[in-house]
Amino acid sequence: MQSYFHLLLHSIPMTFATETSLREFISGNNLFTTSLYKQITTNHHGNFLVSPLSVEIILALTHSGAKDATAEEIRTALHLPNSQEKIEAAIQTLQPLLKKNDLYTLQSANKIYIKNSFQIRDGFRKSATVFDSELENIDFGQSNAAASTMNDWVENRTNHKIKNLINGEDLGDHTRAVLINALYFKANWSTTFETSRTTKEDFYKLGTEKVQVDTMHDTLYRNYYESQELGAKFIEIPFEGNEVVFTVVLPNERNGLSVLETQLEKIFPVPSYTWEKVRIALPKFKITSTIDLKTILQTLGINKVFKGEDADLSGIAGNKGDLVVDQIQQKSFIDVNESGVEATAATYYRFVHQSDSLSPEAPPKDFIADHPFIFYIKVKDVVIFSGRVVDPSQ
């Protein structure tokens, strides 16, 4: 009999080794964000939001209990550092940033629900501590009650924005464990948009159709970059404290998003910004996304963890082939308005038993986001959310 595991996707002084590990994690995060975004666009043709970091955290935790080729597939697809020690060093460096503070709220919470009497290895329990993950026994046989308990936990840690992540019908006596990551972010802009300047403006969707949407306006100095190669403009809009930034990448052409998305590997690394006075027009928008990640991850090369006897998760429990991942899903939400941004994601994974200086004054640059664009949110250069807006009115 095999076990399936459900995985749910929703500064400290650094030694040189830790700093190197963090740089490797950041580089890998940009690469994984690119790969993940590309795969999502094959089936999602409108607005979407995804949290690459939430996926990385939960899979990195799973990696700590994976062995040999199973671990290698996860590490390669996620572009993680090449050892568990480096992965854990990077996570430990990021953890202080993923906690509530006075300037913004950025919280990452991990939870492992384990079937009553199912024994998790001590080594994996130790790794769970590194990931600041709670462990709790639960009766999966009482499937609806178990789902309710887990959904309440997710809802409480995402400010009630992510609801009903887990369906009781997916649980049962065959379920051995469920891993969940809930990521929540809320912050005010460093300079808020004045509501009195928000007006109804045309937004040109893909094709010739246009819609009227509430559009925020301001003129101020920001990190700004124009890429002739990409045919696009970049702008960074910082949040209070300036540790977290909201980046918008706008193609020059109204129908230029599809071409821009063929060059994603050049989108997420930090470009050569200059400090410019910019006239900004940005639509308000909300996005709610549900993304089934199993097929996407398989396409990216993670296969063994889903396959019966090939799955080696014996570092978590049992022997090779005893534990198999059979479900991985993420729900996410974002609200962009005059005050700032609220965004959240929850990812789950299930195991079951199977068989600054100013330049001289110049005319402001124009950054008028009146057609589809890419956006992402970074903390310390790590992409925590990314997505695109095709129709802000949806």
Q: Summarize pLDDT for 231-247 with one digit per residue, the tens.
A: 999 999 999 988 899 99
pLDDT score of 111: 86
Lowest mean pLDDT among 183-187, 209-213, 281-285: 183-187
Residues 146 and 234 in one domain: no
Residue 327's closest CA among 163, 166, 124? 166
Q: What pLDDT is attached to residue 354?
A: 53
Are residues 200 and 177 both part of a single domain?
A: no
Give Cα 115 distance to the centre of its chain. 28
Largest CA distance in the chain: 72
More confident residue, 328 or 98: 328
Rounded to whole angstroms, the Cα distance separating 151 from 143 reads: 12
DSSP 119: P
Same domain, 325 and 383: no
- 326: CB partners within 8 A, 6+ apart: 4, 5, 6, 294, 306, 350, 351, 352, 354
Nearest to 79 by CA among 90, 93, 92: 90
Average pLDDT value for residue range 214-226: 96
Q: What is the dihedral of CA 264, 270, 271, 276, to 10 degrees?
A: 130
47 token code pair: 């607005």
299 and 251 within one domain:
no
pLDDT at 11: 38
Q: Measured between alpha carbons, how far is 237 from 222 in angstroms, rounded to an integer?
A: 7
> How far apart (Å, rounded) are the C-alpha atoms in residues 66 and 76?
13
| CATH code of residue 78 | 3.30.497.10
Q: What's the average model confidence in pLDDT over 265-284?
A: 95
Residues 214 and 349 in one domain: no
pLDDT tens per residue across span 113-166: 888 888 889 998 899 888 888 888 899 999 999 999 999 999 998 888 888 888
pLDDT bin (cut points 50, 70, 90) of residue 264 is very high
CA distance 379 to 117: 39
Do the domain assignments include residue 369?
Answer: yes
Q: Are residues 183 and 302 in the same domain?
A: yes
Q: What is the mean pLDDT of the chain?
A: 88
All residues at 6 or more sequence positions from 40 whose CB lies less than 8 Å from its CB, including other chains: 48, 50, 291, 296
pLDDT in tens, 305-336: 888 788 898 998 888 888 888 788 889 999 99
Contact status, residue 383 vs residue 52, Cβ threshold 8 Å: yes
Q: Once rounded to an integer, what is the mean pLDDT over residues 52-73?
A: 92
Q: Is 117 exposed, middle or buried (0-12, 13-18, 19+ CB in 10 A)?
A: exposed
Residue 56 domain boundaries: 2-189+286-354
- Cβ pair 104, 244 in contact under 8 A: yes
pTM: 0.89
Is 42 domain-assigned?
A: yes
Are residues 40 and 7 located together in one domain of the fold? yes
* Confidence label for 351 from pLDDT (cuts 50, 70 and 90): confident
- How much is the pLDDT for 353? 59
In this structure, the number of other CB atoms found within 10 A of the CB of residue 269 comes to 12
Query: Which pLDDT belongs to residue 352?
Result: 62
Kindly report the number of other CB atoms within 10 A of residue 234's CB atom.
Answer: 22
Q: Cα(376)–Cα(149) distance, rounded to whole angstroms?
A: 32
The answer to whether the CB of 84 falls within 8 A of the CB of 64 is yes
pLDDT of 285 strictly over 60: yes
Rounded Cα–Cα distance for residues 344 and 54 (Å) = 10
Percent of the chain scoring above 90 in pLDDT: 55
Considering the domain architecture, whether residues 237 and 128 belong to the same structural domain is answered as no
Q: Do 210 and 113 fall into the same domain? A: no
pLDDT digits (tens, 9 = 90+) for 10-58: 433 445 557 788 889 999 999 999 999 999 999 888 999 999 999 998 8
Q: What is the pLDDT of residue 356?
A: 44
Domain count, the chain: 2
Residues 267 and 382 in one domain: yes
Q: What are phi and psi of 122, to 5 degrees?
A: -60, -35
Q: Are residues 70 and 181 in the same domain?
A: yes
The answer, yes or no, to whether residue 361 has pLDDT greater than 70, is no
The bridge status of strand 274-283 relative to strand 365-368 is parallel
pLDDT of residue 281: 97
Strands 175-188 and 2-9: parallel
Please state whether beta strands 133-138 and 104-115 pair in parallel, antiparallel, or not at all (unpaired).
parallel
Side-chain half-sphere of 294: how many Cα atoms within 13 Å? 18
